[in-house]
Amino acid sequence: MLRQRIATALVLLAILGWALFAPPRWPFALLTLGMIAAAGWEWARLNQAQPVLAVGIGVAVALGGLVTLAGGWQNEAPPLLWWLMVGLWGAGSVVALRSGPAAWPQLPRVARWVLGAVGLWAAWLALTHARVVGINFMLSVLCLVWMADIAAYFGGRAFGRRKLAPSISPGKSWEGVWSGLVGVLVLAAVWVALDRRYGFDSPSLYTLLLDHLGIVGMALALATMAGFSVVGDLIESLVKRAAGAKDSSRLLPGHGGVLDRVDALLPVLPLALAFTVTARGV
């Protein structure tokens, strides 16, 4: 299993790395769109869609992405879109997490399919727009989520006492959440220092927030994004628990499915763009 995980990770890194640094932007946009379409298929299957319909929902996510690419939204999407997605994630997560796994299948299936497809499309659009802003900017957003997850894991293992959501994800603790936030703040401090010293292709998310909102504003924004990363993880755990599934699929040998790898990113990407647009307008 470990060899399989490593092999899959290396292949993905090689393909994504090539697409990310290729001079034209379309390989990265299309490759990530294919992955997010696969996540749409996984989401539909977890939410009681029949096989043909699940494929159709994945295709619909891909077509939505192609339409917005043709419209140039990866270069300049309506700023209100990001805040609408933040509101949708905020309100939806409160209802879903309070209701718990047992209540999730009782919600109308069509509503669940649509909400998932829209959330996936918006996260992909935010990712492609972040790539347009700059590689340094995009990587700083991705690494925020990865750092929050890694620091939460080790902090939870070392200090975890109070369970965060035992009926959804028994392994998560409040101590892990706070550890994740500390990890993100440390990452931000280091990244800002590197930005100042080396001047990459674009300012990072952390530098933009610090320059426009100040240190307190940056810390509050990062705390919100770290919290949203936990929300994304919990929502997918809730859906899988309601479906009785361990993984979203077996598309990625040793890793489960695409959703298992991107769940925490889904709410954070639009939120990062919302904060960036707001900060630049301050």
The pLDDT of residue 54 is 97
What's the residue count for the chain? 282
Structural domain of 161: 2-281
Q: Give the Cα separation of 126 and 33 in Å (integer).
A: 12
Query: How many other CB atoms are found less than 10 A from the CB of residue 33?
Result: 24
The whole-number pLDDT of residue 281 equals 64
Nearest to 74 by CA among 141, 117, 23, 122: 122
pLDDT tens by residue, 163-222: 999 889 989 999 999 999 999 999 999 999 999 999 899 999 999 999 999 999 999 999
* Whether residue 9 has pLDDT greater than 80: no
pTM of the model: 0.94
* Mean pLDDT calculated for residue range 249-263: 89
pLDDT band of residue 14 (cuts 50, 70, 90) is: confident
- The total number of structural domains in the chain stands at 1
CB 116 within 8 A of CB 44: yes
Query: Residue 15: CB partners within 8 Å, gap ≥ 6?
Result: 31
pLDDT in tens, 24-65: 889 999 999 999 999 999 999 999 999 999 999 999 999 999
Instruction: Report residue 150's pLDDT band, with 50, 70 and 90 as the boundaries.
Output: very high
pLDDT at 2 over 60: no
d(CA 158, CA 135): 34
Helix segments in the chain, DSSP class H:
2-21, 26-46, 51-70, 79-99, 109-133, 135-159, 174-198, 205-243, 258-262, 265-281
